[in-house]
Amino acid sequence: MLTTTQTRNYWLLVVLGGAVTAVGLAAAHVMELHGHIVTGMTNQVVWGLPHVFAIFMIVAASGVLNVASVGSVFGQAAYKQRARLSGLLCLTLLAGGLMVLGLDLGRPERVIVAATHYNFKSVFAWNVFLYSGMTAIVAIYLWTMFERRLNDWSKPAGVAALVWRFVLTTGTGSIFGFLVARQAYQSALLAPLFIVLSFAWGLAVFLIVQATMYAWNDRAPAPEIQRRMARLLGVFVAASLYFVVVYHMTNLYFARQGAFEAFILRDGGVFPLLFWGGYVLVGSVAPLVLLWNPKLGGDRATLAASALVVLGAFAWLFVFIIGGQAFPLEIFPGHEVTSSFADGAVERYVPSWPELLLGIGGLAAAFVLTTVGVRVLDFMPHDDLGVAKS
């Protein structure tokens, strides 16, 4: 039972989250009213900062469900108690990401066309089914956990959710891997890379939300469970960094990708800075030090590491999505082409306020849905592992 102070804080959070969501919707309206001329996007950089937010939330939505999978599919009791919250976060993050994605298209009212006309040669068409299928499967999965008569079906539903989330993240990575119009992408490694990244990003988001919920109820997770999840996050972060290294080493092996790798890793201005400083140092090395150093272990270190992983995720996505488009296209390989259309020039992209506000609005929408969901239904982990704060 919530106290008067907790009830007041709950409504304050809902109103604040709703206000930020409304600001994001207003920013989308400005972009629709005036066109993308009010953004930093151009004919070459057509996926801007909102896509960074959207892809992060969609990939994290898949990864956060890993907590439920470890519990329901592999029978780990500590994780099983957190399966409900894991499923809720999957749905809310997916909803927030799709909100940003839909509103950033420029003509969101035409989404009915995408929902009724399909080109099955397009990866984008596949993702319409992947996202809707994910929502349906996770909703059924949560139903089997809430309804006691259906508890025996939780494991089959969990297995279906596990398989589907692998397929969904493969589809998200394949959007870029099959995009032949961009030299920066076109790699079969992108599908498994996005799967591994989803593990780290999803668990980091889960740990942040779990810590917030425990603090809201004046409790803290048991140290042994916190240490287990912290070590698991460290494994995921290390695996993500390894796959990113393999991705760039593979590109460096091909001579045609040498110029692009030099642009991303050394000569691209803000992109090498965000890659080395934002993703490698802040988003990978620093979290690993916090998570694996026994002297720095603890709830605060785990929470700080999770926050740094999220920041590193945004840095990597900005480099990957924006940098991949800013790099000049090689339309005729092996030939020198000159024209008046800035051939061979690096495209300049500066995010605008409407783009940033739309992205933050999507995060706020996921926050509101999570906050309301936790209040309306019983998503708080129920085990004997939570301890009262002294």
pLDDT (tens digit per residue) in 144-169: 988 888 888 888 888 898 899 999 99
Q: Where are the domains of the chain?
A: 4-382
User: Which CATH number is 4-382 given?
Assistant: 1.20.1630.10
Q: What is the pLDDT of residues 318-351, one digit of tens each?
A: 999 999 888 887 666 666 666 656 666 778 899 9
Residue 385 pLDDT > 50, yes or no?
no
Judge whether 24 and 357 are in contact, CB under 8 Å. yes
Give tens-digit pLDDT for 172-229.
Answer: 888 887 776 577 787 888 889 999 999 999 999 999 998 888 887 777 777 788 888 8
Contact 381, 72 (CB under 8 A): no
Position 57 scores a pLDDT of 96
* Residue bearing the bigger pLDDT, 213 or 386: 213
pLDDT over threshold 60, residue 386: no
* pLDDT given for residue 281 in this prediction: 97
Give the single-character DSSP code of 217. Answer: T
Q: Is the pLDDT of residue 389 over 90?
A: no
Q: With H, G, I as helix, E, B as strand and everything else as coil, classify residue 386.
A: strand
Does residue 384 carry a pLDDT above 70?
no
pLDDT tens for 106-139 read 676 777 776 777 777 777 778 888 888 999 999 9
